[in-house]
Structure 1
Amino acid sequence: MAVALLYSPPSHISFSSPKPHIFSYNASSHFSRHFNTAQTVRFPSKTRCITPVAEGIISRELSEIYQSCNLWNWRGFNISYLVKGNGPGPPLLLVHGFGASIAHWRRNIDILSEKTTVYAIDLLGFGASDKPPGFTYTMETWAELILDFLAEVVKKPTVLVGNSVGSLACVIAASGMNNKAIVDDWRIKLILPLLWLVDFLLKQRRIASAIFERVKQRENLKNILISVYGNKEAVDDDLVEIIKRPADDDGALDAFVSTVTGPPGPSPVTLMPKISVPVLVLWGDEDPFTPLDGPVGKYFSSLPSKIPNLKLFILPGTGHCPHDDRPDLVHEKLIPWLEQLD
């Protein structure tokens, strides 16, 4: 599942860029903003977030993405981000899903940057961003990070484009990344005791470490990704590297455990009706995590008839990560939608 929406800041926030057209977007009280309290320091633009990669290990395309990243300091943590393009449209902020990073947008950045300025960010705990040991990761934290990034770095009304947990952070809604968020699905109810057991086991450090080490083996990662993608040919060596590389960092295990066992965040049922800005939802018909016939899928399928500002497209032969799975289908829907916002 992928979601795009146009975000404009509250009227009391002023940007140094040209005066934006203000759209109404009222986040829930769980995401109250304090822009002035975030002690942010911009690193020099040439500061690189990842050390050079040995030639031959990954493609040139992926290496260029890694070497184009910068660092931004957020509340004492280093956050990796990329910026490319300078088109006339509203800027985009790409927010990855669980276990992914900036490079997961490898098949989108160049095309979208021809139309506008594209930003992509590594959420705290993922990619090349800091992974503080023992940190408690929540949807609220990631949402605050995104809003601070918009205020401190982008400084313009921005289209937020998220996948999976990135969608959760962008629209402040649960879309299935954490299974406990969707207990109304009979399939989840059936295995709920197993999920509780998994939570318990993951909170045992030794067991969690053993599971994590096994999951991040290249062959296992590839098999997991194949099960998530509709287009199996999209699962290449670069994709495996995109997921595996940050998983080898210190603190990656803590981020994995905290995310999987943590609270799912607010429900989309309560939050979506509050969003009055344009929203585009792209849903793969082979999404195994948030299937169309599940409660979240059925809920979003009903929204276009209830919320006029929302458009929903079902993408055939597509899994949980549409932007990388079948990017042509995503661009076919996303780019015309973006052009209508100009």
Structure 2
Amino acid sequence: MITEQQVIGVFDKLTWDWKGYKIGYTVMGTGQPLVLIHGFGASIGHWRKNIPVLAAAGYQVFAIDLLGFGSSDKPPLNYTMEVWEELVKDFWTAHIQQQAVFVGNSIGGLLSLMVVANHPEIAAGAVLINCAGGLSHRPHELNPPLRLVMGAFNRLLRSKITGKVLFNRVRQKGQIRRSLMQVYRDRTAVTDELVDLLYQPSCDAGAQQVFVSILTAPPGPTPAQLLPKVKCPLLVIWGEADPWTPINGAKIYQDLSATGQPVQVKPIANAGHCPHDEAPDKVNPLIIDWLAEIG
């Protein structure tokens, strides 16, 4: 089995105490601070193809394991977007204390948008990579049959017996690989390293409770609610072949860009939900060039 240390290579794995919980993070490089925020089920290691490149380009790159994920503690809490927003804001206060660019994928993208919208004083910009529309589906977004199915699924998740069965099935390496094959267009990017990176934290005590809490949590604010409050520049990167957050989700950002707002939208052809990992040779230069533009 590939260990987490092998996955994240030369990154220093550091810990920070937040409200009595251990939070894992890493930092590399010097210069303008960047804060990298992973998506659901991922961790610092999902940025392994980006951190060294961005640091070498002259930036101080922070990456954090959100509470409940990666090497961070997994306490039995009611997980919400607002809990993580407070965590990221407090992390900035403890470790950065100058305007930073927040870079997030999926749920991490929505969290980055929340941070720059609600705390503009700490934000120099944000990079949203296949930004999620919410932590979970809103009932009105589902057709009536699927709404009933999801309601029944949530009840099964909350059961001590069926919840454990469902979680153990979802976290099997074979199932993780099949899920990744659905959302990565380049299947050669779905490596044993990547599967292990997602599998290992699921073995930690408390991982099942975290899984249930997140899948049954409120969705949080929508990008449409947040964008009117955003004053800093945005770079929106979107893998065009993403079945989870389809490319039409980028329209709201394209419309904003058309009004003259400092928003750039960059589709990535032949890439899925995680283009930073699947196509880093395309994503890293986009981020570096945009950072140079905004100064």
Q: Are the aligned partners of 2:39 and 2:107 in contact in 1 as well (CA < 8 Å)?
A: yes
Aligned to 2:68: 125
**Number of corresponding residues:** 279
User: CA offset at residue 61 of structure 1?
Assistant: 4.9
Q: Using the aligned pairs only, state the percent identity.
A: 39
Q: Are the aligned partners of 2:79 and 2:210 in contact in 1 as well (CA < 8 Å)?
A: yes
TM-score (norm 1): 0.77
Aligned to 1:308: 261
Residue 324 to residue 316, structure 1, CA distance change in 2 (3 Å):
same
Aligned to 1:331: 284
Please state whether the residue corresponding to 2:17 is helix, strand or coil.
strand
Aligned to 1:27: none
Aligned to 1:92: 34
In 2: Cα distance, 1:249 partner to 1:303 partner: 42
In 2: Cα distance, 1:189 partner to 1:274 partner: 33
User: CA offset at residue 304 of structure 1?
Assistant: 1.4
Please state whether the residue corresponding to 1:160 is helix, strand or coil.
strand
Superimposed CA distance per residue, residues 230-266 of structure 1 (whole angstroms, 9 cap, x where no aligned partner): 2111110110011000000001111111111100001
Q: Are the aligned partners of 1:177 and 1:289 in contact in 2 as well (CA < 8 Å)?
A: no
In 2: Cα distance, 1:91 partner to 1:308 partner: 23
Q: Which runs of 5+ in 2 are unaligned?
A: 118-130
Match for residue 218 of structure 1 among 169, 173, 192: 173
Alignment-mate amino acid for residue 42 of structure 2: A
Alignment-mate amino acid for residue 329 of structure 1: K
In 2: Cα distance, 1:200 partner to 1:61 partner: 38
- The structure 1 segments of at least 4 consecutive aligned residues displaced by more than 6 Å after TM superposition are none
Superimposed CA distance per residue, residues 48-72 of structure 1 (whole angstroms, 9 cap, x where no aligned partner): xxxxxxxx6359752535x621000
Q: After superposition, where does 1:19-30 map in structure 2 within 5 Å? A: none
Q: Are the aligned partners of 1:59 and 1:238 in contact in 2 as well (CA < 8 Å)?
A: no
Aligned to 2:21: 77
In 1: Cα distance, 2:160 partner to 2:251 partner: 37
Alignment-mate amino acid for residue 95 of structure 1: I
Question: Which stretch shifts more, 282-291 or 123-132?
Answer: 282-291
Alignment-mate amino acid for residue 9 of structure 2: E
Structure with the greater alpha carbon radius of gyration = 1
Aligned to 1:62: 7
Question: Which stretch shifts more, 140-149 or 198-207?
Answer: 198-207
Q: After superposition, where does 1:272-287 map in structure 2 within 5 Å? A: 272-287=227-242
Q: Which has the higher contact order (CA 8 A, sep 6+)?
A: 1
Alignment-mate amino acid for residue 234 of structure 1: A
How much is the aligned-residue C-alpha RMSD, in angstroms? 2.0
